Structure 1
Amino acid sequence: MNASRRTALLSVAASAALTLSLTACQGGEGTKAEGTAAAQTATSPASAPASGTASGTGGSKGAAVGTAHKSDSTGSGSAAAGGSTAAQGTGGSSATTPVCAAKDVKVSAERQDGPPYTHIVLTARNTSGSRCRMAGFPHIQFLESHKQDVPSVAKSKPAAPTVLNPGDPAYALVKLSDGGVDEDNEVVTAFQLVLEGDSTVIAVDSSTGGGLAVDPARTLTGYWTGELRNGADDF
């Protein structure tokens, strides 16, 4: 084989090899491109469930908001109802009624039963134009020589506060002595008392019938009540 023909054959062979190489490269790129496209195609449908999940989440959030709103509404309704009930309770409760002061009442004393006269009944009448509450018991001092308040009797305390409308009276039973002839009694024609919650001194006239025979060692007082009760006020 001469040199020129050999050169020609080598040239043809190199050309063919180059063509095959280019074809193979193009085929690879095509496959890669198709793979990428396929991957995108595969990814695209997956986005639909993601969108559905977001929609579902939005629905859940909406439901949660709705539930929260319903709960708030219910809570508000309950609070309003509770507030209304509390308001009604407050309106009917004697705890909010102001305590009667000395300026609100007129206090008088009358002998009870007798003779011997061992007890008096104090009457405190509401002379004001509004309701008030008689708190506790009268703090009484009969004699200048005995500054201690007359002791109270616990069993006479009423179960509920004594609330007075304008013109209403409250009563307190007061023991003066045991009624014995040998008691160390002193005649009292006037005495003083103060109401619980007010330091104003109220002077009470007891001169009728020659005054009251008081034994300071035997005196007792009951609580203010709407009426005198047998048993609780028997002391």
Structure 2
Amino acid sequence: MNTLRHHTTLLAAAGTVLALSLTACQSDGDDTSSSAPTASATASTAGKSTGTTGSKGLAGSKGSSSASAGSAGATGEQVSASTPVCTAKDVRVTAARQDGPPYTHIVLTAKNTTRRSCQLTGFPHIQFLENHKQDVPVVSRSKPATPVVLAAGAPAYALVKLSDGGVDEDNEPVSAFSVTLDGNSTVIAVTAPGSDGIAVDPAKALTGYWTPELRNGADDF
């Protein structure tokens, strides 16, 4: 009888130990399963965060492309195509000496006197003397890379060579001369600078193209 009780007690104790072991195992399993969703949630959050950043990056790129396209749309060619050519009525042409004696060059200034933009094409067609009807030759290297568009009140310039400055040249005095613009036959009378006018050798005279500013090198002739 005592032996039976002893076996029963041992079985009960073994059952208790087994139950505790199973509970512990279950507990470990619960902890693992509860931490897994947390890791998944973190990965999901990171994915969402990365996705948001990527979207913003793409939007920024698209925005930049649109801005570039907008800038490209406002090209000089489009402006030139819609801008009328300057006529003699649109500009005032004046002349000034460049450098000091012997005054071998003058600078022509064409100022837009209207309230709108106009395109000043080509070069000034100059005739200095009544007995020399040919236009002064142009220096091709002075041609600007883009069309010259004058805003209201804006000037453009052209360098003009009169002579080589030698005492033995066939210079002739000029107090006024004529200028015509590309695409316009109206003659513009220009007063020569200086109280004594200018001395011109028709064989040496040259002109540059109209440019927004006089450029070193291209306009040196």
Same fold flag (TM > 0.5): yes
CA shift at 1:160, angstroms?
0.4
Partner of 1:200: 186
1:163 aligns with 2:149: yes
CA shift at 1:131, angstroms?
0.2
1:218 aligns with 2:204: yes
Letter in 1 for 2:135: D
CA shift at 1:157, angstroms?
0.1
Preserved contact between residue 159 and residue 208 of structure 2 (Cα < 8 Å): yes
CA shift at 1:207, angstroms?
5.2
| Equivalences, count | 153
1:36-89 Cα deviation digits (max 9, x unpaired): xxxxxxxxxxxxxxxxxxxxxxxxxxxxxxxxxxxxxxxxxxxxx9xx979755
Tell me, in whole angstroms, the C-alpha distance in 1 between the residues paired with 2:76 and 2:218.
29
1:100-115 alignment to 2 at 5 Å? 100-115=86-101
Partner of 2:160: 174
1:140-196 Cα deviation digits (max 9, x unpaired): 000001000000000000000111100100000000000000000000000001000
Preserved contact between residue 140 and residue 150 of structure 1 (Cα < 8 Å): yes
CA shift at 1:98, angstroms?
1.0
SS at match of 1:226: coil
1:187-235 Cα deviation digits (max 9, x unpaired): 0000001000100000001152301000000000000000000000000
Tell me, in whole angstroms, the C-alpha distance in 1 between the residues paired with 2:136 and 2:77.
35
Over the aligned positions, Cα root-mean-square deviation in angstroms equals 2.0
SS at match of 1:209: coil
Preserved contact between residue 95 and residue 192 of structure 2 (Cα < 8 Å): yes
Preserved contact between residue 188 and residue 207 of structure 1 (Cα < 8 Å): no
Alignment TM-score, normalising by the size of structure 1 = 0.62
Tell me, in whole angstroms, the C-alpha distance in 2 between the residues paired with 1:109 and 1:89.
32
Tell me, in whole angstroms, the C-alpha distance in 1 between the residues paired with 2:77 and 2:168.
54
Residues 92 and 211 (structure 1), Cα distance of their counterparts in 2 relative to 1, 3 Å cut: same
SS at match of 1:210: coil
Preserved contact between residue 90 and residue 96 of structure 1 (Cα < 8 Å): no
Partner of 1:151: 137
1:121 aligns with 2:114: no
Partner of 1:187: 173
Residues 210 and 90 (structure 1), Cα distance of their counterparts in 2 relative to 1, 3 Å cut: closer
Preserved contact between residue 118 and residue 178 of structure 1 (Cα < 8 Å): yes
Alignment TM-score, normalising by the size of structure 2 = 0.65
If each structure's helix is expressed as a fraction of its own residues, which one has the higher value?
Answer: 1
Partner of 2:219: 233
Partner of 1:94: 80
Tell me, in whole angstroms, the C-alpha distance in 1 between the residues paired with 2:137 and 2:206.
5
Residues 97 and 211 (structure 1), Cα distance of their counterparts in 2 relative to 1, 3 Å cut: same
CA shift at 1:94, angstroms?
2.0
Residues 172 and 207 (structure 1), Cα distance of their counterparts in 2 relative to 1, 3 Å cut: closer
CA shift at 1:96, angstroms?
2.5
